[in-house]
């Protein structure tokens, strides 16, 4: 597993401005929709409360010790008629200051029109092109807010114009990405962060691409083959990558700690992790995290990406694939892919339950100059069981195993409905690494159990 240090490494002031700006945009957009509404809005709301219990003290300086952390969150999902179309708003908020999970996310604030043979969308939106069960590699349009747990994260809304044209041979979609949204950073004491602290400097962009419009094209269609259904899709993206290159700021010389780290990077990220695996201890890492010069600055490059995905479904069997080729100007390109599938047993063990078993393989051969791959030679096994009872009880288990470093990441969740408007969920996550030879070691002390109550209105 190769985990890039947290994507959230911009200045705190910029993060707060983004959160405030997103909230203002959401309110203004919705007010505009109400002013033109003919039949009135439809509003759904969700309020989350609960606690997260960490079993170990954080390894980095400033992180919270073992114990319980209380959190609260909310989500609004609403639609209203507007100017012959539909205004859509989806806005979420999570407050967990002690764990560093403070997110404000304007996922959608757009207007959508269905016209004769084509659709149009204008505003903030989330685009999910992936088909993998474990983790998609197609996050190229929306930035990924990594202030979650393990591989958990949240896609953030991006301002865009999208047009879908429906033809007899398939659907063609065009995207004009008219703004660039960066995720807000966790502070130095947050859980589930990397070894690097965020820099107080502004993020950097490739000069040749600064201020230019990003665009994407996509095609999708479905076919009937051998008694089953085949869905295929292909895309092309040209613009600024939503995944930055992150490395220590080695420009200023620094003290012996920073100079040693920067020297180990001369052989690429692989050599860096080998260096940590040989030399690092929890005590040394704790000391390094106290050093004010060990910081990182994100650099966003211009990229071109070609991607293809497919799902073949026949009966209870589904086979899935998504693959991409990505290249930056003046650098070597790389391939990445996810392949696998799942099988579902209906009426498992003679009861009403439904059991789904999924297996996937992740491959990524990007060079050291690219952002670090989270999954480059990893196997995934997932189990989903739906009890099909009156309470909509379900259980999900997922595990990643790195075939190179032998690092492992496991997660388990069980949820059930207590009433028509109240749901309970219990979640646990655990990471196993062999020393500091893998980036996932940075969250090796962040094993937790979480209990959440969600109220729906």
The residue ranges of every structural domain in the chain are: 12-456
pLDDT band at 77 (very low <50, low <70, confident <90, very high): very high
Range ranked top by mean pLDDT from 31-45, 194-208, 225-239, 249-263: 225-239
Which pLDDT value is given to residue 424?
A: 98
Rounded to two decimals, the pTM is 0.84
Tens-digit pLDDT profile for residues 120-154: 999 999 998 999 999 999 889 988 776 655 555 67
pLDDT at 13 over 50: no
Q: Quote the mean pLDDT of the chain.
A: 82
Any idea what DSSP says for residue 141? Answer: S
CATH 1.10.260 for the 12-456 domain, yes or no: no
Q: Please say whether the dihedral angle defined by the alpha carbons of residues 56, 59, 60 and 61, taken in this order, is positive or negative.
A: positive
Tokens of 196: 């690097």
Q: Identify the residue with better confidence: 26 or 401.
A: 401
* CA 65 vs CA 146, 235, 282: distances in Å: 21, 45, 15
Range ranked top by mean pLDDT from 10-19, 203-212, 276-285: 276-285
Nearest partner of 398 among 357, 438, 454, judged by Cα? 357
Cβ 181 vs Cβ 15: under 8 Å: no
Terminal-residue alpha carbon distance, the chain? 40
How many Cβ atoms are within 10 Å of 451's Cβ, its own excluded?
14
SS3 of residue 18 by DSSP: helix
Indicate the helix (H) or strand (E) that contains 361: strand 354-364
Tens-digit pLDDT profile for residues 205-252: 876 655 678 999 999 999 999 999 999 999 999 999 988 877 666 655
Tokens of 138: 């197609």
Nearest partner of 134 among 312, 323, 307, 339, judged by Cα? 339
Which pLDDT value is given to residue 376?
A: 87
For residue 299, list its beta bridge partners: 204, 245
- Residues with Cβ < 8 Å from 194, sequence gap 6 or more? 3, 4, 5, 6, 439, 442
Nearest partner of 75 among 89, 86, 55, 54, judged by Cα? 89
How much is the average pLDDT of 87-97?
88
Give the lowest-confidence range in 13-17, 161-165, 184-188, 234-238.
13-17
Tens-digit pLDDT profile for residues 398-445: 999 999 888 999 999 999 999 999 999 999 999 998 778 777 888 888
pLDDT band at 50 (very low <50, low <70, confident <90, very high): very high
Which pLDDT value is given to residue 31?
A: 53
Residue 359, CB-side half-sphere exposure with 13 Å CA sphere? 2
Q: Identify the residue with better confidence: 386 or 275.
A: 386
Instruction: Count the residues in the chain.
Output: 457
């Amino acid at each position: 597993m190769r985990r890039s240090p947290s994507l959230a490494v911009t200045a705190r002031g910029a993060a707060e401005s983004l959160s405030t700006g997103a909230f203002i945009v959401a309110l203004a957009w919705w007010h505009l929709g109400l002013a033109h509404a003919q039949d009135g809005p439809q509003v759904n709301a969700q309020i989350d409360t609960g606690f997260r219990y960490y079993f170990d003290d954080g390894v980095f300086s400033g992180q919270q010790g073992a114990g319980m952390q209380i959190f609260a969150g909310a989500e609004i999902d609403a639609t209203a008629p507007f100017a012959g179309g539909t205004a859509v708003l989806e806005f979420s908020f999570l407050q967990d200051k002690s764990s560093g999970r403070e997110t404000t996310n304007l996922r959608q604030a757009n207007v959508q029109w269905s016209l004769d043979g084509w659709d149009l969308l204008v505003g903030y939106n989330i685009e999910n092109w992936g088909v993998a069960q474990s983790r998609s590699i197609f996050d190229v349009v929306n930035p990924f807010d990594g202030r979650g747990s393990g591989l958990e994260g949240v896609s953030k809304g991006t301002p865009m114009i999208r047009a879908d044209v429906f033809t007899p041979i398939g659907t063609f979609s065009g995207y004009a990405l008219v703004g660039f949204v960066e995720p807000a950073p966790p502070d130095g004491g947050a859980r589930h962060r990397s070894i690097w602290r965020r820099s107080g400097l502004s993020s950097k962009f490739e000069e040749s691409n600064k201020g230019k419009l990003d665009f994407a094209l996509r095609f999708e269609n479905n076919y009937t083959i051998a008694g089953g259904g085949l869905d295929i899709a292909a895309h092309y993206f040209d613009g600024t990558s939503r995944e930055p290159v992150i490395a220590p700021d080695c420009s200023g010389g620094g003290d012996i700690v920073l100079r040693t780290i920067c020297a180990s990077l001369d052989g690429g990220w692989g050599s860096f992790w080998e260096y940590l695996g040989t030399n690092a201890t929890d005590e040394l890492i704790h000391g390094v995290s106290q050093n004010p010069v060990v910081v990182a600055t994100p650099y966003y490059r211009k990229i071109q990406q070609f991607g293809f995905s497919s799902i073949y479904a026949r009966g209870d069997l589904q086979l899935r694939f998504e693959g991409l080729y990505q290249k930056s100007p003046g650098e070597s390109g790389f391939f990445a892919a996810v392949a696998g599938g799942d099988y579902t047993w209906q009426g498992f063990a003679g009861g009403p339950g439904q059991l789904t078993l999924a297996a996937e393989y992740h491959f990524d051969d990007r060079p050291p100059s690219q952002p670090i791959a989270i999954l480059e030679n990893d196997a995934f096994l997932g189990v989903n069981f739906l009890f099909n009872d009156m309470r909509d009880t379900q259980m999900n288990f997922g595990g990643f195993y790195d075939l190179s470093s032998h690092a492992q990441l496991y997660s388990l969740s069980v949820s059930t409905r207590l009433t028509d408007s109240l749901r309970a969920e219990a979640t646990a996550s655990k990471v196993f690494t062999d020393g500091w030879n893998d980036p996932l070691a940075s969250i090796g002390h962040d094993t937790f159990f979480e209990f959440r109550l969600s109220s729906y209105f």
